[in-house]
Structure 1
Amino acid sequence: MAGSRVGIIGGSGLLEALGVAGQAEPHVIETPFGPPSGPIFTMELDGVPVALLDRHGAGHMLGPTRVPYRANLFALKVLGVSHVLACGMVGSLREHIHPHHLVIPDQVIDRTYRRPCTFYDDLVVHVEMTEPFCETLRHVLSEVAQESSTGKVHSQATYICIEGPSLSTRAESRMYRTWGGDLIGMTVMPEARLAREAELHYALVAVPTDYDSWQPPLSTAPEAQNTAHFQNRRVAIANALGLLRRSLSRIASAPVQCHCDSVLALGIWSDRSRISNEVRTRLRPLIGKYLPPEVV
């Protein structure tokens, strides 16, 4: 971890929620995939170098389909990020996963269909996704949760990622339960897959705010539903960011013992002699250690 940063990807108001507004240095990064969601802010948080990114941009103006996931992960890689802790709101598909709880998912079912999902349009790369989240990071988050008063934290769950922006029908929500889904959300894919393609250690703390549509709400009054949702959201996000912050020093000091930072060693299937110098240069932050630009 020496000399590396931990990236934190969250929702709107991330700097304010962490209490570091005005203390961080903004970076506007140009990438081959366009601009990221917004400036990336770097600073030291509790003695650990971090890079903070608001997934939906200033004012929450980018819906889940329009989030520039490729630009976001590429920019974090350029800034020297090696580990990414993400936070995102979800609906619960299980009775035992209550709003206010936190969840560290270990599996994903990807139902998105309108999002660019790879960096490698100009060569063939197959990354291993059996375990879509970094097991090292998940273990650290689970350990820290057990040692602190974070509240109930579930250390395993399957996240169903839908395209959005509309929420599920009740029939869809019930179907996802039969698939083995425990959570439903709109942002973990292709974010987790791109993190793997960029050889970043990536884990998510999911924040359930309701029971999705499979379970009727406790109140049929829209005002009461909205009040409960925002109360759950406020408490759960505060708990999630507290868990992420308490995990930083452990992540910075713990040795990395997983394959996330070397998946491309076996993942590049294209004939390397046919990969152009332009592609090698454009994607250098991702593939430079395997395919350095040729000297001409």
Structure 2
Amino acid sequence: MAAKTAEIAVIGGSGFYSFLDDTDELEVETPYGEPSAPVTVGEAGGKRVAFLPRHGREHAQPPHRINYRANLWALASLGVRRVVAPCAVGGLRPEVAPGDLVVPDQLVDRTWGRTQTFVEKGAAHVPFADPYCPVLSSALAGQDGVSRGGTMVVVEGPRFSTRAESQHYAAQGWTLINMTGHPEAVLARELLLCYAPIAVVTDMDAGIDAGAGVGQAEVFAMFDRNIERLKTLLARAIATVPDGGCGCAAWADDIDLPYDVPGRS
């Protein structure tokens, strides 16, 4: 049984390298290698919260090289059952703009080089029609200034899209574009964790705005301008998350999973 070190986790995105004050730092070993960084554990919203910077403390891990399996397994091994995942995104449609905070409700995977499952033998086909926890999503979207809905397409990176690619994604009706939302979400589901992203729109993607296209400096600068706002919002959302009520883990109730899930007897 996993030690109940924390009940909820925050995985920080680009530029979001710390969250909590007065924390304990934990080095966590996993069967899948090292997580992006040590996990820090403290309190927020009246709950024990674990924090892990997705890219490492100094953005050492680019999106296509992050050890997503180790990150999620490390959090689960600490007793975490719910994961909130802030991330930087580009906007694809006029209903979003830089500075907006959005809780998407759908995901499209356009990555290609990543290990995206814990299943290495046997049969365990995870349901993923609705990729995000409705309870966590409601807690995040219930905060002032946060909208809910839309589809986030996840691309391999680390390059940004061409104008033609960006226009294609927008033409599908997709709202946001990102490089880290997959396989993070499906790995959380496989580990029976509740998971929901909150996206910070840092720019409009290359095919949407005329001009030079997307640049790293503007993306990082916009995310940095929203860090304190995001931290306050996360603490408030964490305080409002009720116990239970979502069924995110129920898909595996009658399945003998062919991989280890920390805390599952």
Which TM-score applies when normalising by structure 1? 0.81
Secondary structure of 2:173's match?
coil
Alpha-carbon distance between aligned partners in 1 of 2:191 and 2:261, rounded to the nearest angstrom: 11
TM superposition shift of 1:48:
1.1
| 1:180–1:13 Cα change, 3 Å | closer
What is the rounded CA distance, in whole Å, between the counterparts of 2:37 and 2:9 in structure 1? 14
Shift of 1:242: 2.2
1:55-95: CA deviation from partner (whole Å, max 9, x where unpaired): 00121010111100000000100000011001000100011
| 1:253-292 per-position Cα deviation (integer Å, ceiling 9, x unaligned) | x131121122212555x8xxxx6xxx6xxx1516x43xxx
**Residues 102 and 236, structure 1, Cα contact 8 Å, conserved in 2:** no
Q: C-alpha displacement at 1:228, in angstroms?
A: 5.2
Are 2:115 and 1:116 equivalent residues in the alignment?
Answer: yes
Match of 2:134 in 1: 135
Matches within 5 A, 1:13-162: 14=16, 16=18, 18=19, 20=21, 23-143=22-142, 145=143, 148=144, 151=145, 153-162=146-155
Tell me what 1:257 maps to.
245
The one of 179, 195, 211 aligned to 1:186: 179
For residue 15 of structure 1, report the CA deviation from its aligned partner. 5.4
Q: How many residues align?
A: 261
Give the aligned partner of residue 293 of structure 1: none
What stretches of structure 1 of length at least 5 have no aligned partner? 290-296
Determine if contact 2:16/2:227 at 8 Å carries over to the other structure. no
Which consecutive unaligned segments of at least 5 residues does structure 2 have?
none
Q: What residue is the counterpart of 1:239 in the other structure?
A: 229
Tell me the distance in 2 between the aligned counterparts of 1:159 and 1:284.
Answer: 27
Mapped partners of 2:248, 2:216: distance in 1: 40
SS in structure 1 of the partner of residue 249 of structure 2: helix
Change (3 A) 1:25 1:15: farther
Task: Supply the AA of the counterpart residue of 1:255.
Answer: D
Match of 1:212 in 2: 205
1:220–1:162 Cα change, 3 Å: closer
Distance 1:43 1:220 in 2: 42
When normalised by structure 2's length, the TM-score is 0.90
Instruction: Say if 1:7 and 1:85, in contact at 8 Å, map to a contact too.
Output: yes
Larger Rg: 1
Q: SS state of the match for residue 242, structure 1?
A: helix
Please give the alpha-carbon distance, in whole angstroms, between the structure 2 residues aligned to 1:220 and 1:209.
15
Check conservation: 1:196, 1:202, Cα contact below 8 A.
yes
